[in-house]
Structure 1
Amino acid sequence: MWPGEATQSGGFETRGGERVSVVIPHFNDSSSLERAVESALAQTVAPHEIIVVDDASEPAHLDRARCLLRGVPGARLIERPSNSGPARCRNVGWEAATGELVAFLDSDDVWQREKTERQLQLLRERPELIAVSGAYGRLQTGEAMADLPARAAHRDVPTSHLLIRNSMATPTVLVRARARSRFPERVRFAEDHHLWLELSREGAIAWVEAPVAAGFKRPVGESGLSGHVWRMLASEFSIFERLRRAGVLTARQTMFAWAVLTLRGSRRLAKHYAHRATRAISKLRIPAPALPPAPQTARSARKRAPETDKR
């Protein structure tokens, strides 16, 4: 049923020595969890283990997750007693991982089948790298990811770039398990951005210039929940301030990040409200205006006049 070569310990063999642990947070999304697990198992370099951390899902979803993982070699399900958010789940999975590398995958996302192989190659060639990321795409239901180019270009992601924008979607990241930084658990929005900025101080980060992961959910702001947009912006502002106090960012870097975030936030909000206005207008049923009667000319009046009896 599942691809790969199982070992006696129940996991998969990973070529080259480094073992990859896959961490998947899950909350009431068992319908798409199987798709995510299958995309991890379909990698050209099989994972050492798959750790699904359930964040106190409803019993029906939890039972489905148990049934799904029961037949997967090397898979584990960690059941959280209470809901604590994806950051806590990822950290729990990270701490439980036994591989030298940790890859993150959300239950509603999928990987390109060569993602792990390409990123592993970069990490082996460049020991100074602490993490590797890549482009993130969006798919329609039933759509599959395209093949990676034979020679996908890559570039480094410096701290200065991360101050401008967060180009690293969590499902695209492969990080060395020995990294000291973790996801901030008290932050509900942009917690990944916080981690990437901290990781950039521990080592270099590379970015593959091709889609290595994709998702089926809509971006924040298109779901009709304006509160999510506001909370995400507020969270990003607080993240930069928290990193400044911790000495990760200088005061100048923080002010620069705030200025860029203000411009990007204004654009994001404008796009969000324009999307809402378009949807609202499309739902309105405005009757077509009644057209006034055409003006009557002398010629048309003669044509319409009744014929008289000439007898």
Structure 2
Amino acid sequence: MSAQHISVSVIVPVYNNAHTVLRALESIVRQTAQPLEIIVVDDASTDNSCTVIEKYIQNLPIAKLLRSTRNLGPSAARNMGWAVASAEFLAFLDADDAWHHKKLETQFVFMQDNPEFMISGHQYQVVPKNESPQDCSFEDFEVSTFNLRDFLIRNRFSTPTVMLRRSISDRFDETQRFSEDYQLWLRIIAKHKKGALIEAPLTFLFKSAYGAGGISGRMFAMYRGELANASALRRENIISLANSLIWRAWLTIKFIIRLASKPRKDAI
């Protein structure tokens, strides 16, 4: 792809990520297709994140730094970036993760060539602590299509894998701190009937995906967030009462299985 900037606004929420944010930003700068703009939103960090970011972007004209005066959570930070974004598409990258160098090019071309999709995601690679990502090359990949029922069974997207059309009217729910991204994907899929998953690992997660580990308290918070999603979608008649009850039961079963399969610290 040519060096011309593609119509993508990249939004990077930051909260006390001084030690990882440069890795995230460098993975954007190394893209084979450069975004129209990089919008970094600092969510009232108490470390030197802003100093690190300002120094890095001072010679990067496509990047800007927005600052929140209060810590409002990643949803508010993403919405703040969304409000000032100008490109046709939005992509989200967490400040402690990174992208494959062909992520934007691959996903942008797919979204342009398939205007019936309002949202797409792709696979990711979880990078163990103290290891480097396998920045593999690929030529061909499969694309899977999912409807609302598929997304109710399981969240198919991790936020740093998502690209969506800026024209979408829904936003991240700022009243939730857990599973609010999943709620947005569900709303989009419900309104626009389907989403696409590119079967290529174009994001590197330097933290475990939900369900792959972590403390029980965080798992319970995610479970409560998912139940809140069920209530919100039912309240707005996005799903029926019967489907809401079935979904709640399914979420509870999954939560119990996760707790049961979680390694115990006192296990021999």
TM-score range, shorter chain: over 0.9
- Aligned twin of 2:234: 244
Deviation, 1:71, is 2.4
Alignment equivalent of 2:15, drawn from 1, 5, 27: 27
Deviation, 1:271, is 2.2
Deviation, 1:59, is 4.7
Tell me, what secondary structure is at the counterpart of 1:247?
A: coil
Distance 1:92 1:135 in 2: 26
Pick which of 55-64 and 176-185 moved more.
55-64
Higher RCO, 1 vs 2 (CA within 8 Å, ≥6 residues apart): 2
- Aligned twin of 1:153: 142
Map Cα deviations across residues 101-141 of structure 1 (whole Å, 9 max, x no partner): 10000001111111111111221221111011011220133
Distance 1:219 1:126 in 2: 28
- Aligned twin of 2:168: 179
Tell me, what secondary structure is at the counterpart of 1:149?
A: coil
Tell me, what secondary structure is at the counterpart of 2:177?
A: coil
- Aligned twin of 1:99: 87
Structure possessing the higher radius of gyration over alpha carbons = 1
Deviation, 1:220, is 4.6
1:204-243 mapped onto 2 (5 Å cutoff): 204-220=194-210, 222-223=213-214, 225-243=215-233
- Answer whether contact 1:25 1:107 (CA < 8 A) is retained: yes
- Answer whether contact 2:133 2:204 (CA < 8 A) is retained: no
- Aligned twin of 1:14: 5
Deviation, 1:148, is 4.5
Distance 1:34 1:190 in 2: 26
- Answer whether contact 2:18 2:47 (CA < 8 A) is retained: no
- Aligned twin of 1:266: 256
- Aligned twin of 1:280: 266
Q: Which runs of 5 or more residues in structure 2 are unaligned? A: none
- Aligned twin of 2:191: 202
% same residue: 32
Structure 1 residues 71 and 145: alpha-carbon distance in aligned structure 2, compared to 1, 3 A threshold: farther
1:159-170 mapped onto 2 (5 Å cutoff): 159-170=148-159
Q: RMSD in angstroms over aligned alpha carbons?
A: 1.7
Match of 1:258, as an amino acid? R
User: Across the two proteins, how many residue pairs are aligned to each other?
Assistant: 264
Residues 1:137 and 2:125 are matched in the alignment: yes
Q: Which runs of 5 or more residues in structure 1 are unaligned? A: 6-12, 283-311
Tell me, what secondary structure is at the counterpart of 1:48?
A: strand
Tell me, what secondary structure is at the counterpart of 2:11?
A: strand
Deviation, 1:262, is 1.6
Map Cα deviations across residues 44-95 of structure 1 (whole Å, 9 max, x no partner): 1111110110000015232222222222221000010000000000000011
Distance 1:174 1:262 in 2: 29
Match of 1:280, as an amino acid? D
Deviation, 1:151, is 1.0
Deviation, 1:269, is 1.1
Structure 1 residues 59 and 111: alpha-carbon distance in aligned structure 2, compared to 1, 3 A threshold: closer
Runs of 4+ in 1 over 2 A off after TM superposition: 59-62, 144-149, 201-204, 218-223, 279-282
After TM superposition, the score normalised by the length of structure 1 is 0.80
Distance 1:226 1:155 in 2: 32
Structure 1 residues 208 and 21: alpha-carbon distance in aligned structure 2, compared to 1, 3 A threshold: same
Deviation, 1:43, is 1.3
